[in-house]
Structure 1
Amino acid sequence: MQRIPNGVKLKRDGSFSAPEIEAEHKAFGSFIKTGSEVEIKALSTDEGPAGGYITHTNMATTINQKIFDQSPIRRLARVVPMDNGDAWEEPLDFSDLGATWASERQARTETTGSQLKMLTIPLHEVYAHQSVTQKLLDLSFVNIGSWVEGKISDKFGRTEGLAYNSGDGVKKPRGFMDYAAASVATADDTRAWGVLQNVISGSAASVADVDGQADGIKNLFWSLRAPYRANATWIMSSATANAVDKLKDANKDYIWRPGMTAGAPPSMLGRPVEFDENMPAPGAGLFPIAFGDFQKAYTILDWQAIKTLRDPYTDKPNVIFYAYRRTGGDVANFEAVKLLKCSAS
């Protein structure tokens, strides 16, 4: 519904008169040209001069945008806010104390002590530098500044999500999948710290075993210790999910369960499934499924929020929108997440 400003009459075709259109240009154009916060506060929709003029006849005020896939890792991981420093350090205790039985008069020898490790995660900077012509800002009925900032925020989210998944740690976070190639089949008690465990699917290039069943996936489920399994999530791409939801166990029962209510995630063996399109599809020697308690397994650092600078001076007649953000990430617990490997042995 169009708002009719006070003192302005509609023409028979329902459009506003020329003076009203001119006032609309002036009010909204002044705001996006100057970026003045004072003008932002003055704009509203309940009065024509204060914002009711924004909607031009037959002119959309939004941009129909493509929707991109976002990684779920940030939602699942532990996020540590930071307001100073360029790295995060945290002592880790994943060893056990010694204890033994003794008789009443038996001498007590020293038992083994706990061994601490240090987790260090550096911050890295991601940025975007976007120029917009002043003419576009002047003439557009779309809030170009907000649109650009929204695009930057969305792109940062996807760029960070890819790094949390498979970043190599060089000028970016190190993702948990960057450890996949060096992962081994050795269980937690005897595996070296800093190495993930993988469980084979049972066939060379599929998530199914050699009989076309889900035994490998069930082995992956049970390889994760109970304290982590209680809060664990499956991570896979849609391509992998398309293969998994057809799998049955030895009793011919499907292991995949769709969400029981609208918006609820599907589940597998009682644990929720999240989709991350950064995960590989099934293939020989690849690792298409991760299963773990990501709150324990992965730590993300956030240095404040996205900072955006609006610069109309450096590159006239362009207005530069420069945004940056600092974040970090790495595996914090190598026992809390496991990988499925497409392999027969």
Structure 2
Amino acid sequence: MDETALAGFETKTVTPETRGLQDEMMRTFESFREANDARLAELERRMSADTLATDKVDRIAAALDAQNQRIERLALKEMRPALGQDRTRFGAPASEHKSAFERYVRAGDEAALRRFEEKAMSSLTGADGGFLVPEETETEIGRRLAAISPIRSIAAVRTVSTAVLKKPFAISGAESGWVSETAVRDQTAAPQLAELTFPTMELYAMPAATAALLDDAAVDIDRWIGEEVEQAFAAQESAAFVNGDGLAMPKGFMTYDRVDESAWAWGKVGTVGTGADGGFAEGEAADALIDLVYALKAGYRQNASFVMNRRTQSTVRKLKDEDGNYLWLPPAAAGAKATLMGFPLVEAEEMPDIATGACALAFGDFSRFYLVVDRQGVRVLRDPYSAKPYVLFYTTKRVGGGILDFDAAKLLDFSA
């Protein structure tokens, strides 16, 4: 959860519980270092590690992962705003749209919502029915998704009102040069442009509620809908942004053509090899990571992050540099990210595991590398008939995605 992802959230003091968990995690990391150092020393002496030592390292590593997840969940809970907060407490009445939407959700009263959308002349309501959620609810759903969806939290996000975003991109850059004050200016060559197309696809969730929940005036309906759909939307988005085929979902960055960095060309993602099939070359893991970092141009490195899944992270956590310092370090504070070689590390479970030929690790400036396109408008269709006695809320939003700048990230290829 970086600062961009948490934009708009209330600033809150770190609680003693969070601070205690952070201190506990740092102590666990020290235990991990000691146990792993002992395992490595055993390897050097006997050319094989003691099974008990290896098991101990794995147990501590698992505990470290669990503690980090607890801290992230607690930090997110502390920073999460109250969705659909009653603005009357701050001197402003609830919006007309919000009031009409609540009557629709609680009692199925469509009249007020229909009058509101006719007056607004909205073109965003789809042909399959449903009503737009209030702007406040849509905004907060987007903020929640940014906080828990790993790729969305670091990617560029654009909101559009059409089904497709078409974006021209200068591949070669504009021609330029130096001249003296009175010198003749030659006509510059036209820049080479490519048109990138990002269609939006429909993403849906279907939370269910009981009649008792809807009748309870103390239940914040907006907050309930947001909490129900955010996890479903985030899980589907995260998978699509990494491995989506681009047909009925966004195109994931791992599904584009890949080529060795020495032969990189626009439209392909550059890769750097580790020098060994299915792992790092003996004693050269840090060198492979350094090669990956410096395959990226300086302008991209300033805001770059590593992206990998938890199993890959468990491997790189044990790596050291030539001076015996660990390349991986735990988060310095609650809500911060672990770092690898000084760069933030983002955990995306959909990334592949380390295997021969797998590109299990990505590094780049994802705010320039990958674009998430949100079509304006989240729709809800109330269905009290399909699953009696429950009321279903068919909630949809349209999302697209794809690579924006093919030079802004590189992949680490685990092959010789």
Q: 1:103 to 1:215 in 2, by over 3 A?
A: same
For the pair shown, which has the larger CA radius of gyration, 1 or 2? Answer: 1
TM-score, normalised via structure 1 length? 0.70
Distance 2:227 2:329 in 1: 35
Structure 1: runs of 5 or more not aligned: 1-30, 39-68
Aligned to 2:106: 35
Note if contact 1:133-1:317 (Cα within 8 Å) is conserved in structure 2.
Answer: yes
User: CA 1:97 to 1:308, structure 2 compared with 1: closer, same or farther past 3 Å?
Assistant: closer
1:168-189 deviation digits (Å, cap 9, x = unpaired):
101100011112xx311134xx
Higher helix share: 2
Answering whether residue 135 of structure 2 is matched by residue 75 of structure 1, we say no
Deviation string for 1:64-104 (max 9, x for gaps)? xxxxx95411111111012x221001110120445678999
Name the SS of the counterpart of 2:153 in structure 1.
Answer: helix
Aligned equivalent of 1:326, options 378, 389, 398: 398
Where structure 2 has 5 or more consecutive residues not aligned to the other structure, the ranges are 1-101, 110-146
Q: How does 1:214-225 map to 2 (within 5 A)?
A: 214-225=286-297
- The alpha-carbon deviation at position 157 of structure 1 amounts to 1.3
| Deviates most, 327-336 or 124-133 | 124-133
Report the alpha carbon displacement of residue 212 of structure 1 after superposing the two structures with TM: 5.3
| Cα distance change on mapping 1:94 and 1:37 into 2, 3 Å | same
Answer with 101-110 or 195-204: which moved more: 101-110
CA contact (8 A) 2:106 2:214 kept: no
Hey, what does 2:273 align to over in structure 1? 200
Find the counterpart in structure 1 of residue 60 from structure 2.
none
Q: State the Cα distance separating 1:112 from its structure 2 match.
A: 3.8
Q: Partners of 1:241 and 1:314 in 2: how far apart?
A: 44
Q: Report the alpha carbon displacement of residue 203 of structure 1 after superposing the two structures with TM.
A: 1.6
In the other structure, the counterpart of 2:333 is 261
Which residue of 1 is the match for residue 50 of structure 2?
A: none
Between the aligned partners of 1:113 and 1:164, the Cα distance in structure 2 is 33
Number of residues of Structure 1 aligned to a counterpart in Structure 2: 277
Q: Quickly say closer, same or farther: Cα 1:87–1:212, change in 2 above 3 A.
A: same
* Match of residue 300 from structure 1: 372
State the alpha-carbon separation in 1 of the partners of residues 204 and 342 from structure 2.
40
Q: Which amino acid aligns with 1:128?
A: A
Q: CA deviation at 1:315?
A: 6.3
Corresponding residue SS for 1:184: strand
Q: What does 1:38-49 align with in structure 2 at a 5 Å threshold? A: none
Instruction: Evaluate the alpha carbon distance shift between residue 110 and residue 32 of structure 1 in structure 2; reply closer, same or farther with a 3 A threshold.
Output: closer
CA distance in 1, matches of 2:225, 2:239: 21
Q: Distance in 2 between matches of 1:253 and 1:151?
A: 43
CA separation in 2, counterparts of 1:325 and 1:317?
26
Change (3 A) 1:315 1:95: same
Residue 260 of structure 1 deviates from its aligned partner by 2.1
Q: 1:183 pairs with 246, 250, 258, which one?
A: 258
SS of match in other structure, 1:214: helix
Give the TM-score normalised by the residue count of structure 2: 0.59
Matched, 1:210 2:287: no
Shift of 1:323: 1.1
Alignment CA distance shift 1:137-1:213 (3 Å): closer
Kindly report which structure 2 residues correspond to 1:273-288, keeping only aligned pairs within 5 A, or say none: 273-288=345-360
